[in-house]
Structure 1
Amino acid sequence: MRRYDADPARPDVRAPGPEARSGLMRVGLLDGAQRDRRPATLDELLARARLAESLGLRSVWFSNIFGHDAMTVAALAARVTDRIEVGTAITPTYPRHPYAMAQQAASTAAAARGRFTLGVGPSHRVVVEEMWGLSYERAYAHTGEYLSVLVPLLRTGKVEHAGTRFTVRAHLTSTDGLPVPVLLSGLGPKMLALAGTLAAGTITWMVGARTLRDHIVPRLREAAAEAGRPAPRIVVELPLALTDDVAAARELAGRMFKSYAVLPAYRAMLDREGATGPAEVAVVGDHDAIGEQLLRLAEAGATDFNAAPYALGEHDARLDTCLRALVEIGARLSAPLPLSVERSS
């Protein structure tokens, strides 16, 4: 019997706690973070969303890097699916005024009929300053003010905020009464405090089980508890390869995702993990090995795991085979969203 086949209530599993979940972890797909040999077309992204739903995955999330706009893709994906949650991971804050972000998010939630979750974050200095020509100074203060405008607009349809970066007195009529949960890509202590205080949780990337357990989860939960907020959602995203050739898969992950190892936010998380690079935190192996690795993430406190499958040449499992394996593993690790999660924030 595989270890992750055992009863989720067994005492040796350190689950997030009764205040957060009644079970372990939902499993979904992250699309667009892979460094494929060519970027996916819009039709391919939508086809993969339909495939993910047909196979039984719980959610599909779209990255917002240098290709398609993630919220646009999420809105379209919601229209070609019926049940699966759609989300962004993540939409950068700097290029969009928070009112514009709220308006688009509310429209996306309407397209998704309430199945949309908005993941946001400030991105990285090299992107904001060298590519977009904007200032990345005081990113923490920017993010705090941004959420102070965005979240009330999505929750109540109105906001009055006078700050050093944004002065907004506005209302939003396009919410359709649908909740739009907001997650923040918090990794450092101060960003995790914002995620727990102002958002509904965090989305991580390049974070291993040890760092999740010892850093992300306790800081995020503490911030949420001190703010009187519901237990936070903790969405963990990592590269994944279903394969028998572990060495080749890890070597490829090291090359394919090497750019993340030099971005300061991810470098800090890899250092906490004791990892030299992405190859060491990627989820790699056969069905049993992947199940064990996902179980460790669940034990560390993840409420969700989103796989970013990557190609391994002739050793690569077809995407549908990989997703079928994830569904089977996820069925043993998943539970409904916690009732205590505030879906309107």
Structure 2
Amino acid sequence: MVSERGTAVRSGIVLEGQDISVSELLGRARMAEKAGVDSVWLVQLPTIRDSASVLAALAVSTETVQLAAGVLPYYSRPPVVMAQTAATIDELSGGRFTLAVGTGHGMIAEWSLGRKPGPAVAEMREYLGAVRGVLADGEVNAEGRWYRAHAVYSSPRRADQPLYLGAFGPKMSRLGGELADGVALWMCTPEYVRDVALPNVRAGLLRAGRDPDSCPVTVMIPGMVSDDLDADREVLRKYLSTYARVPNYRRMYEASGFADEVSSRQIGDRLLDGVGVIGDEEQVRAGIARYHAAGATEVVLTPMASAHYDPALLQRTAEALAG
């Protein structure tokens, strides 16, 4: 199967493990691998265990499924340490790891680490350059406005290890097209992918003299097979109401035509159906197809509500993704 951009499409699953043991999380990853899912992603939140450490465990507990961090906030690790972490996980996995970094949320960086971020795009440009230097060249010597990085990496590494950029708005999407190997989007509509993200990714690619269709776009969205639609939709509605208060998401939803819902903080069915995929297997596959038709290279579902707690529903979700 190919997307509207003419690229092969892929499917992935986010495994959230904040309220389950690491051993159970590893079992879920092996289940997803057996079901035929292309990739397993872990998120990073300030209140949960370190996802990079868990990814290292996943690297030696799985065999074929691609692994990805989606996404690691750049303020959580200096660029040299981030590159060391990524190269180590990739080595442990036998070349199956994709690093995705993003700005995260400035208020969390300041609250949890006492670090006030600078201008997001300017800082990220320097950060990506330093990480890329270590991964691609095995060394970096950078004296930037925001980052100073000097290192030589002598352990085994893969020079073409994928480096993705997590993006919210147009400027970061352009930067991803210019400097990254892929762009990761979170909880946006197919129309936003088609009308906002992709044109800006292509603009960045053209600025860098790259093929305008050479940058994969991964979209992560809430989604699962459900046997109780009403209850699961209410869980997602509450989830979205929290995100709608965050400036980056608020701007994205406003750009997607949901300004009234955002201003009223009332998450209606239109927004719910715009960024979530909930239903039976056929409905889930149809929802995924909407994103592929919009140009997404990979659609990654985040099972929540009943699918997070019911192993049978989680497996059905993984099988729907793979099918």
Asked if these proteins are the same fold (TM beyond 0.5), I'd say yes
Contact (CA 8 Å) 2:140, 2:150: kept in 1 or not? yes
Structure 1 CA distance for aligned equivalents of residues 167 and 156 of structure 2 = 26
Residue 312 of structure 1, CA deviation:
3.1
What is the match of residue 135 of structure 1?
116
SS, match of residue 167 in structure 2: coil
8 A Cα contact 1:113 1:178, kept in partner: no
Root mean square deviation, CA, Å: 2.1
Deviations 1:278-319 (A, max 9, x none): 634111122222222111100111100111011238996621
Please give the per-residue CA displacement for 1:224-244, whole angstroms capped at 9, x wherever unaligned.
132123511111001113125
Q: Structure 1 residue 257: deviation in Å?
A: 4.2
1:269 Cα offset (Å): 1.7
Shift of residue 249 of structure 1?
Answer: 2.6
CA contact (8 A) 2:135 2:158 kept: no
In structure 2, the partner of 1:87 is 68
- Alpha-carbon contact 1:241-1:249 (below 8 Å) kept: no
Q: Unmatched 5+ residue regions in structure 1?
A: 1-7, 329-345
Q: Which residue of 2 aligns with 1:30?
A: 14
Q: Which residue of 1 aligns with 2:41?
A: 61
- The answer to whether 1:279 aligns with 2:272 is yes
Q: Any conservation in 2 of the 1:251–1:279 contact (CA below 8 Å)?
A: no
> 1:229 matched to which residue of 2?
210
Q: Label 1:244 to 1:94 Cα distance change in 2 as closer, same or farther (>3 A).
A: same
CA distance 1:313–1:26, shift in 2 (3 Å)? closer
The CA distance in 2 between the partners of 1:117 and 1:50, in whole Å, is 18
Given that 1:114 and 1:178 are in contact with CA atoms closer than 8 Å, whether structure 2 keeps it comes out as no
TM-score with structure 1 setting the length: 0.83
What is the total number of aligned residue pairs between the two structures?
308
Question: 1:67, CA displacement in angstroms?
Answer: 1.2
1:223 Cα offset (Å): 0.9
Q: CA deviation at 1:42?
A: 1.1
The unaligned stretches of length 5 or more in structure 2 are: 262-266
Q: Which has the higher helix share?
A: 2
- Indicate whether 1:307 and 2:301 are aligned: yes
Query: Structure 2-normalised TM-score?
Result: 0.89
Residues 313/188 of structure 1: CA separation in 2 closer, same or farther (3 Å cut): closer
| 1:74 correspondence with 2:68 | no
Give per-residue Cα distances to partners, 1:49-82, cap 9 Å, x unaligned.
Answer: 1111111111001001121212211121111111
Q: Secondary structure at the match of 1:164?
A: coil
In the alignment, is residue 16 of structure 1 matched against residue 9 of structure 2?
A: no
Give the secondary structure class of the aligned counterpart of 2:76.
coil
Is the 1:30–1:307 Cα contact (8 Å) retained in structure 2? yes
Corresponding residue of 1:322: 317
Q: Could you tell me how far apart the structure 2 residues matched to 1:235 and 1:151 are?
A: 20
- In structure 2, do the counterparts of structure 1 residues 167 and 126 end up closer, same or farther at CA, with 3 Å as the change threshold? closer
Counterparts of 1:112-131 in structure 2 under 5 Å? 112-131=93-112
Mapped pair 1:164 → 2:145 = yes
8 A contact 2:224–2:314 mirrored in 1: no
CA distance in 1, matches of 2:97, 2:117: 28
| Percent identical residues | 32
Distance change in 2, residues 1:244/1:271 (3 Å): farther
Letter of the structure 2 residue corresponding to residue 131 of structure 1: S
Q: Which amino acid aligns with 1:286?
A: D
Q: C-alpha distance in 2, partners of 1:220/1:186?
A: 10
Letter paired with 2:170: P
Using the alignment, how far apart are the partners of 1:315 and 1:53 within structure 2?
A: 19
